[in-house]
Structure 1
């Protein structure tokens, strides 16, 4: 079993603490079926070939992107990967950098760790150029709520200290998903065809209230060879899959 990155430095009053959904992502991405899939697309990459770019949108503590970066050789079949995170919460960005840095250091060069670039404050994939993301991971705010919390203004305009109310709002950004828990996720799904590279794939976590079967059908109906399948679950609760991870991808055309 691959070690879970240390997040003891993370300020959990401001940043989402790793929970069942986070650990389901770790288990799924390191499962034999997914390492085989990822290695078939990216394995064998070297310094003479464009390194795959891994992006986690909304990394929170950074536990998932740090895990992928630290164990790149095992999970993607190559250590020649670049990784970064994008989060609207500036404290999550700082936490992610710390988690990734520690995880890579603890993994050591011989373990096949990749290179972590940075975590930037931004809304979903807006800070990224089109068509550059090879592996996108998204653990969205999936809980149905009456409304979405306000997105923070850019970091340059924010004070260094936060009030209890502001901290509560930062945490709400990590779970409050609006109508059907899908308002933020729907925006990300709509952006995938533009954000992903030709060989790109996305892993998106959903709960039962998000209607994952409908989401998969919607992605398949986009045309252009898009596929969507459930590749990880937290088990059935009262006949429903409580949490699912769906993989969204296309057959490689010009990898």
Structure 2
């Protein structure tokens, strides 16, 4: 799918598409399976929430406490309009160490020629730079810091970005990866990865 095909209903905020649905389904299913007693509701962060669709699904269909975050102020406003607790944030930078039970992320992953990128919020929502990993790389470098000891990351990756390359990089940051779901389209396959930090005995 081209960049123009992924534009949503507004000019400033990424709206739900196939990647959103796949990630939401996988995250909701896993978070429902791992639910604990009502006194220990997991704290879940969705990074790059866009319209808030994934965070809203998790909020409505699981017992988790959900926070939505996005660098785009228009996305934060839309997520708040959906009734979500939403904050403006650059990836996981403002969040405390060991604070989150799960982090969910549908990153900008489309490989993009820098000469063709838009200097606007939709370009930021879609473009993963030349290799598709310009946002995934710094995310993987820092997300382990904010995870609770038994935390998990649910990350959507496209075959255009290279799932094996992302898994290898995640491993360099101490994560083991499990593919939870995938869906094929004419020009790409989308995969939801669960990333588990290494446990130190």
TM superposition score normalised by structure 1: 0.68
* Cα gap change, 1:247 to 1:91, in 2 (>3 Å): same
Q: Could you list the runs of 5+ residues in structure 2 that have no partner in the other structure?
A: 1-7
Contact 2:27 2:104 in 1 (8 A): no
Contact 1:142 1:175 in 2 (8 A): yes
SS of the equivalent of 2:166 reads: helix
Rg larger for: 1
1:178 & 1:200 partners in 2: Cα distance?
28
Residue matched to 2:22:
24
How far residue 130 of structure 1 moved from its aligned partner, in angstroms, is 1.4
How far residue 149 of structure 1 moved from its aligned partner, in angstroms, is 10
Alignment of 1:64-213 (within 5 A): 64-72=54-62, 79=63, 81-99=64-82, 101=83, 116=84, 118-147=85-114, 169-213=120-164
How far residue 146 of structure 1 moved from its aligned partner, in angstroms, is 2.9
Question: Over residues 201-247 of structure 1, what are the superposed CA-to-partner deviations in whole Å (9 max), with x where a residue is unaligned?
Answer: 01111111211112213323444xx3201111113657xx6111111
**Aligned residue pairs: how many?**
194
SS of the equivalent of 1:187 reads: helix
2:135 & 2:198 partners in 1: Cα distance?
26
Q: CA RMSD in A?
A: 2.7
Matched, 1:44 2:40: no
Contact 1:134 1:200 in 2 (8 A): yes
Q: Could you list the runs of 5+ residues in structure 1 that have no partner in the other structure?
A: 1-9, 73-78, 102-115, 151-164
* Cα gap change, 1:30 to 1:86, in 2 (>3 Å): closer
Residue matched to 1:244:
191
TM superposition score normalised by structure 2: 0.85
How far residue 60 of structure 1 moved from its aligned partner, in angstroms, is 0.3
